[in-house]
Amino acid sequence: MDYFAQQLINGLVLGSIYGLIAIGYTMVYGIVGMINFAHGDIFMIGGFMALISFLILVSFGLTAVPVILLIVLIVSMAITALYGWTVERIAYRPLRHSFRLAPMLSAIGMSFVLSNYSQVAQGARVKPVPPIIPGGYALYTGASGFVVQLSNVQIVVVITTIVLLLIFTWLVARTRLGRDMRACEQDQTMAALLGVDVDRTISMTFVIGAALAAVAGMMYLLYYGLVDFFMGFVAGIKAFTAAVLGGIGSLPGAMLGGLAIGLIETLWSAYFSVEYKDVAAFSILIVVLIFLPTGLLGRPEVEKV
């Protein structure tokens, strides 16, 4: 039971990271109707941005961890958001009215570009960092002597995720931009007729998605203490699975799906086998699409002829 509680904590933390990435997938799918295949690599870029800015700040002699974290967060969000904007501008916008498969293939190409770009720029080896936020709390000791722990990193990850989700929800529900986004999701032509700048709204969708992915990348760096150029691929598919599981197009669904995937992956690793944890996640994707194509919170898709 104590072991289970520990895995539950770990799973929820991992799930928060997946959820943040999944929001990017689900937003883009909702508005543009394409799978942004490069989104996993945007997450990877975010991780690298956090790593590099962290290194620079430390070498400048900054020691106050909260200040460092705040600056790293802002820098990596800003630059990664620009990556998201650029990717949309270069690879997706010219293809918006092209045939069905074109944006998907372009996105796959972009995914190769981003991951190999960071391999060329930063080398293929894994980049480790020492624990940035050390320490933690022992919650309680179980009957068998197993200590259930909650580390400070886990607290930071969960709190940051919650705060960002609150800001994000406010953005979508209350601001002009959020209203434009919801309008574009329903009917782009009608939104354009009513004075919504569709191009700008779609760009902003990518920017917000990339910024959230950057946060996920930074959390990943804090939590696991490493980044490498290839981490976007698997994380991207898992986050996409989360988005599908939650119901693609649904924002709370993405977060719910992320938590579910994080929990399943952690529990699977803990009780069955670590080697097959990715197989488990991918199998869930297939099973969900077959038996529950609309996901947990999604709306059924009406097919128009």
Give residues in contact with other proteins (CB under 8 A). 34-35, 45, 48-49, 51-53, 55-56, 59, 75, 79, 82-83, 86, 90-91, 94-95, 98-106, 108-123, 125-129, 199, 233, 237, 240-241, 244, 275-276, 278-279, 282-283, 285-286, 289-290, 293, 303, 305
Count of C-beta atoms within a 10 Å radius of residue 4: 12
Residue with tokens 């996105």: 107
144 CB neighbour count, 10 Å cutoff: 8
Least distance from other proteins to the Cβ atom of residue 237, Å: 7
Contact 30, 259 (CB under 8 A): no
Query: Exposed, middle or buried, 127 (CB in 10 Å: 0-12/13-18/19+)?
Result: middle
Give the nearer residue to other proteins in terms of CB position, either 59 or 144. Answer: 59
Query: Is the CB of 18 or the CB of 168 nearer to other proteins?
Result: 18
Helices (H) and strands (E) in the chain — how many of each?
Answer: 11, 4
CB of 80 to other proteins, least distance (A): 10
Q: How far is the CB of 289 from other proteins (least distance, A)?
A: 6
Q: How far is the CB of 297 from other proteins (least distance, A)?
A: 17
Output 13 or 284, the one with its CB closest to other proteins: 284
Residue 55 or 173 with smaller CB distance to other proteins: 55
Q: Which of 2/278 has CB closer to other proteins?
A: 278
How far is 244 from 294, CA to CA, in rounded Å? Answer: 8
Written as one letter, the residue type at 97 is: H
Question: Minimum distance from CB of 181 to other proteins (Å)?
Answer: 19
Angstrom distance (rounded) from CA 255 to CA 252: 5
Percent helix, strand, coil in the chain, to 5, is 75, 5, 20
